[in-house]
Amino acid sequence: METALFYTLSTIAQTLAGALAVLVAFVLFKLADLDRAIQHAQFELQGRFDEWVEIWEGLRVGGLKEFEKGHGERQPRIRAAYHEGHLAWQLRPRILRVLAYALVGSVVDIAACFAALPGAPKLAGSECAALVLWGTVGLGIICLALYVWLIFIIVQPPEAVPALPAAKS
């Protein structure tokens, strides 16, 4: 029982750490793409409008339809840049929020595994062993579900990701 407990705890920690490292690399690439889309939209606005900051606020909150009510744009390339900037602005905080949940859950689970490893010999003979195993395995499954959720957000088309509710002033 002692060896099984030791290997289970160390495997949970290694699996979460490895999966999280790969996932964070993909998330960083996606965030860089989103930042480029936002900057491109802002640069296009900055080159066309003196009051570009206010126009960007309206575009990022209201989208392309709201923007076109006051500032019609006929060039498809420019319209696409504005639309992509708006979608990137909507998607970025959602990715960061789910990533934060995944990071916190993973760090807590890995830390619990590390904390329990030195005491595995004593823990194996106690009634707490099942509680520790259920807790670390359960949190590990939650972390894996968060990883899947994050991957789903990253790979689906930005139009398919529901927008976050507008911030209250």
Per residue in 94-109, pLDDT tens? 999 999 999 999 999 9
Residue 105 lies in a domain: yes
Residue 7 lies in a domain: yes
23, two tokens = 């996932």
Residue 109 lies in a domain: yes
* Residue of 94, 97, 65, 107 whose CA lies nearest to 82: 65
Dist CA 90 CA 166 (whole Å):
10
Over residues 36-44, the mean pLDDT reads: 92
Residue 166 lies in a domain: no
- The pLDDT assigned to 141 comes to 96
CA angle 107, 111, 17 (to 5 degrees): 50
| Count of all residues that appear for the chain in the document | 169
pLDDT-based confidence at residue 139 (cuts at 50, 70, 90): very high
CA angle 149, 22, 24 (to 5 degrees): 65
Model confidence at 72: pLDDT above 60: yes
Q: Tell me the whole-structure pTM to 2 decimals.
A: 0.81
Residue 43 lies in a domain: yes
Model confidence at 167: pLDDT above 50: no
**What is the domain count for the chain?**
1
Residue 94 lies in a domain: yes
- The pLDDT assigned to 74 comes to 67
* Beta carbons within 10 angstroms of residue 92's beta carbon: 17
Residue 91 lies in a domain: yes
Residue 55 lies in a domain: yes
58, two tokens = 């309206």
Dist CA 150 CA 27 (whole Å):
8
Query: Which stretch of 68-77, 122-131, 156-165 has the lowest confidence by average pLDDT?
Result: 156-165
156: left (phi over 0), alpha (psi -120 to 50) or beta: beta
**Contacts of residue 127, Cβ cutoff 8 Å, sequence gap at least 6:** none
Domain, as residue range, for 78: 2-160
Model confidence at 169: pLDDT above 50: no
pLDDT-based confidence at residue 158 (cuts at 50, 70, 90): low
